[in-house]
Amino acid sequence: MQTTQESLSGNNQQVPFHQPICAELRQHYQSVRDLHLRDLFAADPQRFERFSLQVGSILLDYSKNRITADTLKLLMQLAATADVAGWRERMFQGEKINNTEHRSVLHTALRNRSNTPVMVDGENVMPAVNAVLEQMGKFAERVRNGEWLGYTGKPIVDVVNIGIGGSDLGPHMVYQALKAYRHPRLDMHYISNVDGAHVVEKLESLDPETTLFIVASKTFTTQETMTNAHYAREWFLQRAGDEAHIAKHFVAVSTNQDAVAGFGIDTANMFEFWDWVGGRYSLWSAIGLSIVLAVGADNFAALLGGAHDMDKHFRSAPLEQNMPVILAMLGVWYSNFFGAESQAVLPYDHYLRSLPLYLQQADMESNGKSVDRDSNTVDYSTGPIIWGTTGINGQHAFYQLIHQGTRLIPADFIISATAPTGLHEHHDILMANFLAQTEALMHGRTLEETIANGVPAPVAPKVFAGNHPSNALLLDALTPHSLGMLIALYEHKIFVQGIVWNLNSYDQWGVELGKQLAKRIQPELQASTAVTTHDASTNGLINHYRRLRTGTGG
């Protein structure tokens, strides 16, 4: 096993995409690209059994993909060539696979319910992980049972999570997904945008006496979060008067103890996590505090347990029976051989409506890269554009393009078999649409079938080519456990694709340049003379804004 930083870097010739298996896959692609799914199904009555897999409470039907048994065999050879199994072990064992930041990648340790030791720099991280989990559980229990009181002696009613990116999207998505499990007295709110409208509008509806703020930031330096947190602190103090009341209404989640203390939050009210937790993989850490407050420590433990079960499956199942690996390699098949540009995520579940947003960060910030882990510029496509919304709403908006447009858009359809509301008729309608769409995308409707249907002329616009690939993910029910499994499934899919594309999926240098430029531009917006230090477009826009700007100095 590789241990040193140098040995984690290979050279360009080692890149999986330069290996002979890719030439073989390209050749194979030529023989498969014109096959129609309709014919593949007709030729093989066992296709569903052959290309579906159940792991715990999740069924993955991947039979409606443009693959044959040979495709899968070759894709798995590519995964093996990329040493997915070796890298997987390196990740789980805490090697510093994030080679540009020299960090381990151990979100799996946060949900390691087996409690086996996980070592970072010679130290087992599990005692610290468990201690923070306990701290979160105890704190949440006091808030939930009404023991934790605001400065006028009232129990907390509203909790505001102030965070952005990974410190917002994960907890926000999970809170929505587990709404059915939430504490009846507690409402969670999420403020991320530095557009003042977000914080002002939200605070208008809240009572400082019964509101708890969680300032959630891994670095505790993110400008948007700090600006909103300072505003919330000011808003609170204007009403509560005394700084001593802050301790009852502000807690922090961060890796940066000094900055938390500097903000004025007692570090006794800080929930810690560590630099080996990537922001977009952090909902399992103290960043999930709002989840624990909403659904309780037991349900949070079930969420972690679901993710842990998926971790165990991912770590031990052979590649060809490994759900994250299968999803990942199907994605590679469409991105790198069919030239697909995007991947749609279509949850048929109101509670999962934020999953596409969450996965946008998880996937696109991880694999949206054109320089590989050895600093070579890649000559193949990497992470796709992730997009989507709840399935039914999408049907009445953009599905037209998926059905009859000119682009190939692989889509993941996600649904649970149980209606959390008990509205069974609603759920049957939802399910029928879910099935109808995947069937229509796959099968299409030929010219002959269209004519036989007796549709009036013109007939051509009413023909559906079909052959559009989709995965169907069917959960027994949307529970904390199955949600944990589902999120971990996607995390590991992203990991596998990153390995196949030879990327470091765990840094995000691409977000830095804009941040630096914004810092430079911000004071220029208040300049008294025309700004000339940028390109003509940026200068023109800055100066136009300076003229229109209202408020001090404008």
Ligand X SMILES: O=P(O)(O)OC[C@H]1O[C@H](O)[C@H](O)[C@@H](O)[C@@H]1O
Catalytic residue among 426, 515, 519, 544: 515
496: closest CA among 508, 488, 507? 488
Catalytic residue among 172, 365, 403, 481: 365
Select 164 or 212, whichever has its Cβ closest to ligand X.
Answer: 164
For 334-358, give one letter per residue: b (16+ CB within 10 A) or e.
bbbbeebebbbbbbbbbbbbbbbbb
CB of 511 to ligand X, least distance (A): 4
* Catalytic status, residue 350: no
CB of 554 to ligand X, least distance (A): 28
Structure letter (DSSP) for residue 165: G
d(CA 246, CA 139): 16
Place of tokens 């897999």: 53
What separation in angstroms does the CA of 442 have from each of 82, 134, 344, 469? 31, 48, 15, 6
* Residue 251 dihedral angles phi and psi, to the nearest 5°: -125, 165
CB-count exposure of residue 537 (10 Å: 0-12, 13-18, 19+)? exposed
282: closest CA among 444, 182, 165? 165
For 202-234, give one letter per residue: b (16+ CB within 10 A) or e.
bbeebebbbbbbbbbbbebebebbbebbebbbe
Select 167 or 395, whichever has its Cβ closest to ligand X.
Answer: 167
Neighbours of 369 (CB within 10 A): 22
d(CA 526, CA 8): 47
Select 166 or 356, whichever has its Cβ closest to ligand X.
Answer: 166
For residues 273 and 286, the answer to whether their CB atoms sit within 8 Å is: yes
| Residues found near ligand X in the complex (CB under 6 A) | 164-167, 217-219, 222, 225, 279-280, 365, 508, 511
CB of 282 to ligand X, least distance (A): 7
Select 459 or 517, whichever has its Cβ closest to ligand X.
Answer: 517
* Residue 164 dihedral angles phi and psi, to the nearest 5°: -145, 160
Select 218 or 313, whichever has its Cβ closest to ligand X.
Answer: 218
Select 165 or 498, whichever has its Cβ closest to ligand X.
Answer: 165
* Catalytic status, residue 64: no
Select 513 or 536, whichever has its Cβ closest to ligand X.
Answer: 513
For residues 22 and 78, the answer to whether their CB atoms sit within 8 Å is: yes
Helix, strand, coil in percent for the chain, rounding step 5: 55, 10, 35
CB of 505 to ligand X, least distance (A): 12
Strand partners, 186: none
* Catalytic status, residue 308: no
Strand partners, 81: none
Catalytic residue among 6, 49, 204, 396: 396
CB of 128 to ligand X, least distance (A): 19
- The catalytic residue positions are 365, 396, 515
